[in-house]
Amino acid sequence: MKPSVLTGEHYMTGDEACAEGALAAGCKFFGGYPITPATEIAERMAARLPGVGGTFIQMEDEIAAIASILGASWAGVKSMTATSGPGFSLMMENIGLGIVTETPCVIANVQRGGPSTGLPTMGAQADMMQARWGSHGHYEIIALAPASVQEAFYQTITAFNLSEKYRVPVLIMADEIVGHMSEKVRIPEAKEIELISRLTPSGRKDRHKPYAAGPNGVAPMGAAGQGYHMHITGLTHDEKGYPAMSVDAHAEMMDRLMNKIRNNLDDIIITEEYLLDDADIAIVSYGVSARTSLAAVDEARRMGIKAGLLKLVTVWPFPEEKIRQLAEKVKGFVTVEINLGQIHLEVQRCAGGKAPAYLVGHPGGTIISPDRVIAMLQEAF
Amino acid sequence: MTGKPKKAAEINQMAHPLDDLLRTDRIPHIWCPGCGIGTAFSACLNAIKASCEDLDKVAMVSGIGCSGRGAGYIKLDSFHTTHGRAIPFATGLKLGNPELNVIVFSGDGDLFAIGGNHFIHAARRNMDITVICVNNLNYGMTGGQAAATTPYNAKTTTTPVGNPESPFNLPLMAYASGATYVARWTILHARDLTLSIQEAINKKGFSFIEVLSPCPINYGRRNKEKSLDTLKAYQDKSIIKNNAHPADLETDFSKSIVLGKFVDTDRLTCIESYDKTCRLG
Amino acid sequence: MAFWRIPLDAEQIDVTRGIVYIIEDRCKGCGYCIEYCPKQVLAFSKKFNKKGYHLPEAVKPDDCVNCHYCENICPEFAIYSAEASPSAEAVSG
């Protein structure tokens, strides 16, 4: 057996670090399908998983890939897949199945330019709203956005932990730039890494109810083969997991699915701040664009503009409260992202007219230069 | 086949011999009067009872559609997944815990139209699962539309003047894709079907059984066939021909329907091959 | 299903006897058990169950040989047979 945690310093790409983060988190199943620029995650997992007692399988398409990780999760195994835009679109229906059946799993989307085949080898951040709303029906989901190779490692561990804790698919919304850049990564000792695993049921197996939630709104989860004789369905269901075709049953299920996330926002939402305390202008960004923004804040400060950065580590659920608080004290917001206005709209919504919100966006294919952010700061304020 | 014979006095009068495997609180099931899915399901439960020593290790996976409701009635671990995706879900389940005996119970529309790609790939990689396809020649749940199995010229709601397309020969597709066990029965052949499912469950590798089954309400009605007519056709036109070549198995209801076990071979399963190839060193 | 000849040892063979049980509320009246009982034990009765389906009844209960075919062909888990002790009266449930 080879070690799951490659303790030490490494020089690797964001995709590879994502794979190593998954292994360090205890991922033992990867169902994949090749797609630029996420392929390297699958390649790393194919090479590494058999050595750590896990299984890699290359499925026939992305739909099969996500269906397989849901299956593996119900076998009691931490599971993952990785893809990019077109594959992410194909996965949407089964992400919904993962949400409604409350199946822990992690999906990495290394974003590229779209729509459609778009710019396969060039980065973008244009799937952020799809991550939030891409599957049909109303739901809550968790999405993270790594801004560096080191973050790709740690955020993948966080993704698994959140996924196991809240029994929800967690999305890693990386981008081609972070996925393909090489940087130094420090991987700690295994014992320094905090891991969370799903709660397992106790009590009489014949009385087990797969969706009888505990205090935080999450039900303990059994695995197939343990004697719980569960029924799990994508239909609206009751506590027993049985299909329940009624307005009341649907409302009850939806309440719980929404609230297990909404009532735990403090635990789920992670943001980082840079020079925000005395800032007049809050720059909001995530992923690789947060690096653009960081450089822009430094430059702005040199020029005497009091800008600060709110970096979203968790993009979904959106840190609404944080934006509302900032809206009371800043002159305005600038959102930096490689799309034509997605998270920008969320910032605008939460600012609620109390402070103007501007976008420094890009249709995709390259990172945004800090100069453009500076230009916006000068123009708008 | 139905376990040890019981003496009348030992029997709870209202307990069907399969009640221990049924979610009896969900019976009667949703299937229409005369629909054959219940019979195919019953054969499947009998086979599970006869061939699985540890029922805790049995898991059933279904897709969407009438037959896809199967998973909801078995009192074992059971998964009702998305349309067409029962097989890849089952693949993950099996790979996640190779001790599980994974049975996919679903319909022709689910497994061979929207899910066709998954079927051929699971057979190719010889996933150690048993796939039971209830073939009722149409999409029943949505009201009787043409399927990839609808006979040429048959009437459905989407082929109101007759189906211009020709159906798949399912055993041939399974065979060509690499399945190691392939059989076809009708619900009328309930005993052969049960024994066949038993064999398939015990068989290592990808096993496939097609079960022809009447859909009197949505298919039969439009093709002037009452459920008993369909069963009569199964009786009159079926020929049991074990080891028949899968290329000779087209379901032409105007001529004859060949039933039997057509493929029973051995090759490394997906998991065996992965362990042998990838876990070295 | 009539045999074309009577086996020579027919008189020495103890034919199993069975009792047919019908779980009335599960039946949907498809008639498969009636049509395919090899001994024509069953026929439609005049009774309806609570969902309004016509039920089968054992009209020749003594003829049941406990072959279980009704149990196997029934799509509803609504009928089954059990072995009767040789002297027991066959009844329908």
Phi/psi at C55 (5° precision): -100, 155
- Determine, for residues B6 and C53 on separate chains, whether the beta-carbon distance falls below 8 Å: no
Domain extent listing, chain B: 35-278
**Residue C59 touches partner B, C-beta closer than 8 Å:** no
In a domain, A266, yes or no: no
Instruction: Please tell me which chains touch B, using 3 or more CB pairs under 8 Å as the contact test.
Output: A, C
Terminal CA-to-CA distance of chain C, rounded, Å?
25
The number of beta carbons lying within 10 Å of the beta carbon of residue A248 is 9
In a domain, A198, yes or no: no
Q: Are residues A52 and A175 in the same domain?
A: yes
Chain A residues with CB under 8 Å of B92 CB are: 29, 31, 67-75, 79
Q: Are residues A188 and A277 in the same domain?
A: no
CATH of the domain at A358: 3.40.50.920
Q: Are residues A173 and A31 in the same domain?
A: yes
Confidence of residue C13 (pLDDT cuts 50, 70, 90): confident
Please tell me the distance from the alpha carbon of residue B48 to that of residue B71, in angstroms, as a whole number: 13
Chain B residues with CB under 8 Å of A68 CB are: 88-89, 91-92, 95
Please tell me the distance from the alpha carbon of residue C85 to that of residue C66, in angstroms, as a whole number: 11
Taking all residues of chain A, what is their mean pLDDT, rounded to a whole number?
97
Q: How far is C76 from chain B (nearest CA, A)?
A: 6
Contacts of C34 (CB under 8 A, 6+ apart): C42, C43, C44, C56
Query: Could you report the per-residue pLDDT of C31-52, keeping only the tens digit for each?
Result: 999 999 999 999 999 999 999 9
**Residue B56 touches partner A, C-beta closer than 8 Å:** yes
Q: Bridge partners of A237?
A: A243
CB-CB: which of A75, A96, A231 is closest to B100? A75
In a domain, A256, yes or no: no
* Nearest CA among B224, B143, B159, B192 for reference residue B40: B192
Phi/psi at C46 (5° precision): -85, -5
**Residue B14 touches partner C, C-beta closer than 8 Å:** yes
Contacts of A365 (CB under 8 A, 6+ apart): A113, A119, A122, A123, A124
The fold of the B35-278 domain, in CATH, is: Rossmann fold (3.40.50)
Q: How many helices (H) and strands (E) does chain A have?
A: 13, 16
A329 three-class SS? helix
Beta-strand relationship, A79-83 and A105-113: parallel
Q: Are residues A139 and A281 in the same domain?
A: no
DSSP chain B: --SS--BGGGS-TT--TTGGGB-GGG-S-SPPTT-SHHHHHHHHHHHHHHH-S-GGGEEEEE-SSTGGGGGGTBSSEEEE-STT-HHHHHHHHHHH-TTSEEEEEEEHHIIIIITHHHHHHHHHTT-S-EEEEEE-SEETTTTSEE-TTPPTT--BTTBTT---S----HHHHHHHHT-SEEEEEEGGGHHHHHHHHHHHHHSSS-EEEEEE---IIIIIGGGT--HHHHHHHHHHHEEE-TT--GGG----TTS-EEEEEEEE-----HHHHHHHHHS--
In a domain, A241, yes or no: no
Q: Are residues A168 and A35 in the same domain?
A: yes
Please tell me the distance from the alpha carbon of residue B85 to that of residue A64, in angstroms, as a whole number: 7
Structural domain count of chain A = 2
DSSP A217-250: S------TTSS---EEESS-B-TTS-B--SHHHH
- Determine, for residues C25 and B22 on separate chains, whether the beta-carbon distance falls below 8 Å: no
- Determine, for residues B231 and C76 on separate chains, whether the beta-carbon distance falls below 8 Å: no
CB-CB: which of B75, B79, B274 is closest to A232? B79
Q: Name the residue of chain B whose CA is nearest to A76's CA.
A: B96
* Nearest CA among A137, A145, A97 for reference residue A258: A137
* Nearest CA among A310, A289, A271 for reference residue A125: A289
Phi/psi at C83 (5° precision): -70, 135
**Residue B222 touches partner A, C-beta closer than 8 Å:** no
The number of beta carbons lying within 10 Å of the beta carbon of residue A194 is 9
- Please work out, in degrees rounded to the nearest 5, the angle formed at the alpha carbon of residue C33 by the alpha carbons of C27 and C35: 130
Domains in chain C with CATH codes? 18-83 (3.30.70.20)
Query: Could you report the per-residue pLDDT of A9-33, keeping only the tens digit for each?
Result: 999 999 999 999 999 999 999 999 9
In a domain, A204, yes or no: no
- Determine, for residues C82 and B35 on separate chains, whether the beta-carbon distance falls below 8 Å: no
Query: Could you report the per-residue pLDDT of A331-365, keeping only the tens digit for each?
Result: 999 999 999 999 999 999 999 999 999 999 999 99
Phi/psi at A285 (5° precision): -155, 175
Q: How far is B121 from chain A (nearest CA, A)?
A: 7
Query: What's the confidence (pLDDT) of residue B172?
Result: 98
Query: What's the confidence (pLDDT) of residue C3?
Result: 59
Confidence of residue A289 (pLDDT cuts 50, 70, 90): very high
**Residue B203 touches partner A, C-beta closer than 8 Å:** no
Helix axes B190-202, B37-51, angle to 10 degrees: 50
Phi/psi at B177 (5° precision): -85, -10
Q: Write the burial class of residue B47 (CB in 10 Å: 0-12 exposed, 13-18 middle, 19+ buried).
A: buried
Q: Are residues A28 and A172 in the same domain?
A: yes
In a domain, A12, yes or no: yes
Chain B residues with CB under 8 Å of C69 CB are: 190-191
Does the pLDDT of residue A227 top 60, yes or no? Answer: yes
Q: Are residues A67 and A163 in the same domain?
A: yes
Instruction: Please tell me which chains touch C, using 3 or more CB pairs under 8 Å as the contact test.
Output: B
Chain B residues with CB under 8 Å of C14 CB are: none
Q: A197 and A157 in contact (C-beta within 8 Å)?
A: no
CB-CB: which of B72, B87, B92 is closest to A233? B72
Per-residue pLDDT of chain B (281 residues; tens, 9 = 90+): 444 555 544 555 579 999 999 999 999 999 999 999 999 999 999 999 999 999 999 999 999 999 999 999 999 999 999 999 999 999 999 999 999 999 999 999 999 999 999 999 999 999 999 999 999 999 999 999 999 999 999 999 999 999 999 999 999 999 999 999 999 999 999 999 999 999 999 999 999 999 999 999 999 999 999 999 999 999 999 999 999 999 999 888 888 999 999 999 999 999 999 999 999 75
Q: Are residues A183 and A88 in the same domain?
A: yes
- Give the torsion sign (CA, B31, B36, B42, B48): negative
Query: Could you report the per-residue pLDDT of A139-187, keeping only the tens digit for each?
Result: 999 999 999 999 999 999 999 999 999 999 999 999 999 999 999 999 9
Q: How many helices (H) and strands (E) does chain C have?
A: 2, 4
Range of the domain at A308: 271-380
Query: What's the confidence (pLDDT) of residue B77?
Result: 98
In a domain, A232, yes or no: no
In a domain, A234, yes or no: no
CATH of the domain at A49: 3.40.50.970
Q: Are residues A159 and A28 in the same domain?
A: yes
* Nearest CA among B203, B212, B210, B219 for reference residue B101: B203
Does the pLDDT of residue C1 top 70, yes or no? Answer: no
- Determine, for residues A233 and B80 on separate chains, whether the beta-carbon distance falls below 8 Å: yes
Region of A364 (left: φ > 0; alpha: ψ -120 to 50; beta: rest) is left
- Long-range CB pairs of B148-157 (<8 Å, 24+ gap) are B148/B108, B148/B109, B148/B112, B148/B113, B148/B116, B149/B108, B149/B109, B149/B112, B149/B251, B151/B251, B151/B252, B151/B253, B154/B219, B154/B222, B154/B223, B155/B222, B155/B223, B156/B218, B156/B219, B156/B222, B157/B222
Q: Are residues A280 and A162 in the same domain?
A: no
Q: Name the residue of chain B whose CA is nearest to C72's CA.
A: B190
Please tell me the distance from the alpha carbon of residue A154 to that of residue B110, in angstroms, as a whole number: 40
**Residue B59 touches partner A, C-beta closer than 8 Å:** yes
Both tokens of A2, joined, read 């080879």
Tell me the ipTM for this assembly. Answer: 0.97
Query: What's the confidence (pLDDT) of residue B1?
Result: 43
- Please work out, in degrees rounded to the nearest 5, the angle formed at the alpha carbon of residue A54 by the alpha carbons of A52 and A55: 140
**Residue B192 touches partner C, C-beta closer than 8 Å:** no
Residue found under tokens 């690797």: A12
**Residue B33 touches partner C, C-beta closer than 8 Å:** yes
Q: Bridge partners of A109?
A: A83, A173
Dihedral (Cα; A286, A292, A295, A301), 10-degree rounding: -70
Q: Are residues A300 and A155 in the same domain?
A: no
Q: How far is C63 from chain B (nearest CA, A)?
A: 16
Diameter over CA atoms, chain A:
69
